[in-house]
Each structure stands twice: as C-alpha cells, then as structure tokens.
C-alpha cells in the first residue's frame, strides 16, 4: 500500500468495501469523526479503531501494518494497552516496540516490558517472552518490587509450561508463591492464579494427586471471586482430575457445582466445551450421554466446525466402547477420523478405541499398531494420563483373554517408554 497514514488506509478499505462514512460510523462514532479520521485531523481511540476494523472485515494488525502513527508516546502506549486487554496481541506488538524506542522515561520501563512480554507469549514467541521476563525479574529484584516479582515469576512459569519445560515451570511458579507469601494483604485473585497454575503444571506432569491438592486449595480462595466463569472452570478441572484418580464422589460433587454455573458462561464455544466435559464426567445414563453428544456434534457440523465435531465423535466412540457398544464405537471412530487432522490429539482417542476393538476381535497385531499410534499422538500432546490409560486398558483386555505374560510385557514396555520420555524433560516419577 502506498498510503502511509491511518486515515488514508481506513478510507482505502472503506472504498473497497463500498460503504459510506455514515455506514462505517454506525454504532461506532459520528460520521463527522470518521471524516476527521480519514483526513488525519483526528486520531481514533482503540475502541473506535477496533469497531472500524470489524466493520471493514479487516484484521487490526493488517489495518496498522507498516504504518507510522504520528502520536505522542503516552497515547500510543494507551492504544497498545487497549489492544492487549482486548486480546489483540499481534496488533499491539509493533506499537509497544515503537514505544520502547521512543519512551525516554515517559513510560514505566517495567510496565512496557511486561506488556510486550505478554504479547510475545500469547503469539507463540515464548523464547522472546522469556528473555523479556528475565530482564524484568532482575529489575524487580534490584528494586525490591515484590508484587511485580510475583507477577513476572508467574509469567516465567507460564512460559515454561507452554514450552513443556515442566520442572522449570514448577520452579518459577513455586518461587512466585513464596514471594507472594511475603506480601501483606496480597490480592486473592493473584493467589488463585498461582494455585491453579501449580495445579495445571502437576496435571501436565501426570501427578494428579498434587494437582487436586492445589485445585482444592484454590477453591478456598475463590468463594469470594466474582468471576463465575473462572470459578466454574476451577470446579470443572477438579472434577476431571478427581475422576482420573477414581475419586468419583469428589468428581461428582464438583461437576455438580460446575453444572450450576454453566448458564453463566457467556461465550458459546466455552459453554459447549464445558457441557461436553460434564456429559462425559457425569454419565447420568449411557443413552442420555450419547444423545447429548450426538446433538452437540451435529451442531458443530451445521456450523462447519469439523474439528470440534470430530472431537465430540471421538468422545462418543470412547463412550460407546466403555458400554460395550462396539459397532457404534467403530462407526463414531470413523466419523472422527474423517473430520480431524491426522495428528490432532483427539485422533489419539480414536486410535485407542480402534486398537481395543481389534484386541476384542483377537487381532492382536492390528490392535497393537493402533495403540502405538495412539501413544505417539498422546506423547506429542503431553497427555500423560491418556498414555497411562492406554496401558491399563490394554492390560485389562489381554488379561481377560488369558494373555497374562503378553499383558505384562506390553504394559512394562509402555511404562518404560513413558518414564523415559518424562525423564528427558527432567521429570522423575
């Protein structure tokens, strides 16, 4: 694009879309404001700019790409903050980088770097984020800024968790909890975040008991939290983790609590995901569970969200296998395979179902191949509990067939493989 101002670019996109300034302004600002913005006589706020981008069907980062915004540093920083709070991390990065070069003490260096680090983290650039957080950590230690130290240690833990460096994630998050303990009247929400992050790390490490302990401790601090979605998600995580530990009463208690808050979830995608997990956990009756999940899968198909539909069909296959409806399990498995990318984590569930179906038919070689594929996918996605579940289910099937030595050999082999992979990441079970 030859034009180099925000006003000229907005005008160009508006003309391409074939709408008037009045049509563009509707529900966003006045037509006069659009006229002034396009003439570069007024600068749009983040709210106005976000509205314009949505109306023009253009991503914010593309609207701002390669533009030099003639704005004072503080205004530019405020606009970037608006983008960060709205989750427009990619769009915020160029602005924050410009502020970084121009600030000259006008903006808190640590505030700026923290926001920039978060943007890098949320856009998958974990290495750059970690380097920034380490700089902030050093400054916070030197300046004895305890609250800042807690926050940056938590972010370092989050970055390590996303990078599958679990022992490092545990180290940083544990330090953050220790630092938080030195703050008088520390914010409850921060403690809640730290506890749930500790639980998530232990869950990824395959240490369900420790995960439940931290989730339960988090519950003590969430009763007064107004964010019902956050509270409900915590209840759901406790239910899922407890169920894997076969603590069914605890799982039922917290799935019931999560269910009570389901209506408060505003985001449709998140609400449907909650509902799906709750159906799988509660299993009020096999028929009802299957019916609910089929309806959910069909809703996703109507919206052409095939990946989500495939995930639900994979859940259906596993559910039918558990209730010995082998034909339905096979049919749902095939539906899921058609809809999902070959390395999607839900395909691991599908291969597990297909493997166990083959074992049930006496086709040990085919079953073993499917289960190897399941283990490969679960390993790729660090689904340690699922890896263990494959081994246990396989052992159960072989024992039923009287293949005790074969069951022991395969389970031991899978266990050695899993432990070896964990040790490569510094995790010792």
Rounded CA gap, 225 and 229, in Å?
Answer: 10
Contacts of 286 by beta carbon, 8 Å cutoff, 6+ apart: 319, 323
In a domain, 156, yes or no: no
Separation between Cα atoms, residue 100 and residue 98, nearest integer Å: 5
> Token digits for 287?
């028929």
CA contacts within 13 A on the Cβ side of 51: 15
Region 237-259: mean pLDDT is 85
* 328 exposure class (CB count in 10 Å sphere: 0-12, 13-18, 19+): middle
Q: For the segment 401-410, what is each residue's pLDDT rounded down to a tens digit?
A: 777 777 777 6
For the beta carbon of residue 291, count every other beta carbon within 10 angstroms: 12
Distance CA 4, CA 6 (A): 7
pLDDT at 418 over 70: no
Q: Residue 347 above 90 pLDDT?
A: yes
What gap in Å lies between CA 263 and CA 148, rounded to an integer? 35
Region 204-212: what's the mean pLDDT? 86
pLDDT of residue 419: 62
Average pLDDT over residues 216-245: 82
Establish if 13 belongs to a structural domain. Answer: no
- Name the band, by pLDDT with cuts 50, 70 and 90, for residue 414: low
- Residue-by-residue DSSP string for 17-36: HT--HHHHHTTTS-HHHHHH
Question: Is the pLDDT score of 123 beyond 70?
Answer: yes
Q: Which two tokens stand for residue 215?
A: 């989730």
- Asked whether residue 89 is assigned to any structural domain, the reply reads no
Domain membership flag for residue 303: yes
Does any domain span residue 3? no
pLDDT at 275: 84
205 — pLDDT class (breaks 50, 70, 90): confident
Chain centroid to Cα 385, Å, comes to: 18
Average model confidence (pLDDT) for the chain? 84
CA 213 – CA 217 distance, rounded (Å)? 6
What's the Rg (C-alpha) of the chain?
26
Residue 284 inside a domain? The answer is no
Domain limits for position 336: 299-429
Helices and strands counted in the chain (H then E) = 23, 0
Looking from the CA of 95 toward its CB, the CA atoms found within 13 Å total: 28
pLDDT at residue 133, rounded to an integer: 96
The CATH number that applies at residue 426 is 1.25.40
Helices 384-400 and 404-424 pack at an angle, to 10 degrees, of: 170
**Residue 314 near residue 350, CB atoms below 8 Å:** yes
Residue 16: CA atoms inside 13 Å, Cβ hemisphere, count? 10
Percent over 70 (pLDDT), the chain: 89
- Total structural domains within the chain: 1
Contacts of 285 (CB under 8 A, 6+ apart): none
Question: Cβ(281)–Cβ(237) under 8 Å?
Answer: no
Determine contact, residues 404/224, Cβ cutoff 8 Å.
no
Is 131 inside any structural domain?
no
13 touches 56 (CB < 8 A): yes
Query: How many Å apart are CA 326 and CA 238, to the nearest integer?
Result: 30
Phi, psi dihedrals of residue 65, rounded to the nearest 5°? -55, 130
Residue range 101-122, pLDDT digits in tens = 876 667 888 999 999 999 999 9
Give the pLDDT score at 429. Answer: 46
Note the pLDDT tens digit of each residue in 15-57: 988 999 999 989 888 888 888 888 878 777 777 888 888 898 8
Question: SS3 for 272-325, per residue?
Answer: HHHHHHHHHHHCCCHHHHHHHHHHHHHHHHHCCCHHHHHHHHHHHHHHHHHCCC
Q: Are 410 and 368 in contact (CB under 8 A)?
A: yes
Residue 2 banded pLDDT, cuts 50, 70, 90: very low
Which pLDDT does position 287 carry in this prediction? 65
User: Rounded mean pLDDT of 354-362?
Assistant: 88
Which pLDDT belongs to residue 352?
A: 92
Residue 387 · residue 418 · CB < 8 Å: yes
**What six digits make up the tokens of 308?**
């989500």
Please give the share of the chain, as a percent, with pLDDT higher than 90. 34
**Domain assignment of residue 320, yes or no:** yes
């Amino acid at each position: 694009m030859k034009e180099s101002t925000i006003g000229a670019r907005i005008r160009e996109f508006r003309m391409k879309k074939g709408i008037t300034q009045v049509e563009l302004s509707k529900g966003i600002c006045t037509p006069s404001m659009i006229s002034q913005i396009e003439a570069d006589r007024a600068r749009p706020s983040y709210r106005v700019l976000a509205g314009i981008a949505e109306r023009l069907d253009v991503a914010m980062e593309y609207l701002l790409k390669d533009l030099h915004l003639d704005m004072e540093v503080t205004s530019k920083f405020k606009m970037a903050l608006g983008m960060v709070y709205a989750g427009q991390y990619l769009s915020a990065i160029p602005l924050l980088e410009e502020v970084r070069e121009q600030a000259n003490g006008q903006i808190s260096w640590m505030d700026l770097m923290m926001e920039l680090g978060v943007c890098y983290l949320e856009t998958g650039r974990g290495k750059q984020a970690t380097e920034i957080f380490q700089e902030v950590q050093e400054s916070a230690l030197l300046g004895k800024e305890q609250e800042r130290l807690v926050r940056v240690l938590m972010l370092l833990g989050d970055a390590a968790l996303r990078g599958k460096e679990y022992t490092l994630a545990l180290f940083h998050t544990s330090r953050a909890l220790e630092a938080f303990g030195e703050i008088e009247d520390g914010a409850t929400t921060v403690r809640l975040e730290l506890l749930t992050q500790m639980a998530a790390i232990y869950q990824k490490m395959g240490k369900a008991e420790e995960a439940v302990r931290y989730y339960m401790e988090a519950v003590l601090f969430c009763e007064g939290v107004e964010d019902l979605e956050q509270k409900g998600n915590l209840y759901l995580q406790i239910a899922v983790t407890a169920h894997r530990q076969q603590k069914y009463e605890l799982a039922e208690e917290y799935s019931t609590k999560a269910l009570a808050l389901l209506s408060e979830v505003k985001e449709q995608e998140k609400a449907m995901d909650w509902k799906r997990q709750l159906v799988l956990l509660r299993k009020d009756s096999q028929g009802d569970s299957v019916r609910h999940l089929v309806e959910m899968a069909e809703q996703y198909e109507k919206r052409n969200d095939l990946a989500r539909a495939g995930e639900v069909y994979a859940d259906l296959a596993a559910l039918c296998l558990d209730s010995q409806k082998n034909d339905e399990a096979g049919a749902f498995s095939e539906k899921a395979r058609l809809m999902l990318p070959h390395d999607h984590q839900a395909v691991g569930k599908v291969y597990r179902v297909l493997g166990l179906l083959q074992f049930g038919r006496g086709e040990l070689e085919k079953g073993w191949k499917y289960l190897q594929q399941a283990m490969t996918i679960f390993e790729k996605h660090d689904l340690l509990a699922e890896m263990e579940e494959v081994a246990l289910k396989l052992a159960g099937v072989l024992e039923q067939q009287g293949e005790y030595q074969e069951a022991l050999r395969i389970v031991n082999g899978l266990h050695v493989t899993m432990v070896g992979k964990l040790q490569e990441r510094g995790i010792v079970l």
